Amino acid sequence: MLPLQIPGGPELLVIGIVALFQILVLLAVLGGAGYFLLRIRSGGSVDERLDRIERKIGRLEAQVEHLQDETGGADQSDEE
């Protein structure tokens, strides 16, 4: 009967480096897929998204102004 051969220091180091490399490659692939999925779901180019955000901010500013007019302008602390 042959005794079990347990890997020593250098072999364990190589196994650890290979395992770490495989984990890094897996994380890179998952991260890249996640990035592209988020880009696709966000819809449009950077300019289009920026235009949408600017329009939304404009609507929110108009809504805040309308609400301040309704309340008589009681909270004027954020005016420029």
Give tens-digit pLDDT for 11-62.
889 999 999 999 999 999 999 999 988 888 877 677 888 898 999 999 999 9
The rounded distance, in Å, linking the Cα atoms of 68 and 66 is: 5
CB atoms within 10 A of CB 52: 13
**Is 80 exceeded by the pLDDT of residue 1?**
no
Residue of 9 and 68 predicted with greater confidence = 68
Give residue 75's pLDDT: 56
Q: How many helices, marked H, and strands, marked E, lie in the chain?
A: 2, 0
The rounded distance, in Å, linking the Cα atoms of 19 and 26 is: 11
Confidence label for 77 from pLDDT (cuts 50, 70 and 90): low
Supply the pTM of this predicted model: 0.50
Residue type, 55: R
